[in-house]
Amino acid sequence: MSEIKAPRFKLLEAETPLRRLTRLEERLDRRLLYVKRDDQMEIGMGGNKLRSLEFWLGAAIAESADIVLVAGGPMSNQCRLTAAAAAVAGLDCIVFHNAREHEESRRASFLNGLFGAQVRFLGPVDETRRAIMVEDAAAELRRQGRRPYVVGDAIIGALGYVAAAGELHRQSRELDHPIRHVVLPGSMGPTEAGFIFGNALQDDPFEIHLVSVEYGQADLAARIARIYGDLAAHTGLFVADLNNLPIHYHMDYLGPGYGEPTLASEEAILTLARTEGILLEHVYTAKTFAGFIDMALRGRFPAGEPACVIHTGGTASLFSQFHLFRQGITVAGQ
């Protein structure tokens, strides 16, 4: 694969594990199921945003930034991992939450402070207002002689998953039966578009299944198309037309909406915990795994075609999600 030419600050020494889900295979009576453990990384409890942060911090350092700003909800994985990665890079960090400050939100955000970030609660503002408030804070810092970098550019963030697709292809080629299908969450777009782009650069691309956890299909597809096109322009790499790639959208696992649990997502959390000892959380990974399990059961992956789900992390937020379990946690076997 052609190498990505962009500033990169190395956060990850090792490839994340590709693991066969043998106990899940037994439970489902299906074979050749794998997980790519992007929740298993060296820093900050891991997760997809750490791959993006290699390029966001690369850009920040290339601009001689001395402080990074990041915004999200109190449970945001992007905030937590930015705080952790900034610590590793020796940069200051301010985390902005569009939420009221109270006991619960402080608790959900506690790891940010632990990693040394300054945490500011902006009140319950929408994302547009939040972005303006962050830009205002950046302008104020510049007036004070600081050099801030605002984390979150979708194209730069997507580069992390262009690289991840190459990593999974390398690991897959070492298997007796290389992976054919890859399942990942469909959300804001950078992770998915980056992976699709990186996959398109390979000789024998995977079939990609996106499980929407946030938007309707038209919205998700439009986000991906925009980032995919911008990635081609940004990297100068030649890739196939998006419309000619094997991408499947799965809208059946979203339920009532973003962050709203479904019975299937709750079931997926319990199943993975009790067959593989793997933790999922309600917002991103539980619905993605619910889709993966359902597709396996319904024969969406033909016999002999290995399928891999990407665990994008977020595990730290599970500890604030106890109240979302509707069935309660029962003793195994009950």
| Residues in touch with ligand PLP (CB under 6 A) | 47-49, 77-78, 185, 187-192, 284, 312-314
Q: Can you tell me the distance from the alpha carbon of 330 to that of 151, in angstroms, rounded to the nearest whole number?
A: 40
State the nearest-atom distance from the C-beta of 285 to ligand PLP, in Å. Answer: 6
- Nearer of residues 115 and 284 to ligand PLP, judged by Cβ: 284
State the nearest-atom distance from the C-beta of 278 to ligand PLP, in Å. Answer: 14
- Nearer of residues 155 and 188 to ligand PLP, judged by Cβ: 188
- Nearer of residues 271 and 288 to ligand PLP, judged by Cβ: 288
State the nearest-atom distance from the C-beta of 150 to ligand PLP, in Å. Answer: 16
Nearest Cα to 71, choosing from 115, 132, 10, 114? 132
Q: Can you tell me the distance from the alpha carbon of 292 to that of 289, in angstroms, rounded to the nearest whole number?
A: 5
State the nearest-atom distance from the C-beta of 151 to ligand PLP, in Å. Answer: 12
- Nearer of residues 78 and 262 to ligand PLP, judged by Cβ: 78
Closest residue to ligand PLP in the complex (CB):
314
- Nearer of residues 148 and 186 to ligand PLP, judged by Cβ: 186
Beta bridge partners of 37: 311
Q: Can you tell me the distance from the alpha carbon of 46 to that of 234, in angstroms, rounded to the nearest whole number?
A: 27
Bridge pairing between strands 33-37 and 307-311: parallel
State the nearest-atom distance from the C-beta of 281 to ligand PLP, in Å. Answer: 7
CB-CB contact of 271 with 290 (8 Å): no
- Nearer of residues 30 and 223 to ligand PLP, judged by Cβ: 223
Q: Can you tell me the distance from the alpha carbon of 80 to that of 258, in angstroms, rounded to the nearest whole number?
A: 20
What element of type H or E holds 36?
A: strand 33-37
Q: Which two tokens stand for residue 32?
A: 């050749």
Q: Which two tokens stand for residue 58?
A: 């690369």
What element of type H or E holds 197?
A: helix 190-200
State the nearest-atom distance from the C-beta of 186 to ligand PLP, in Å. Answer: 7
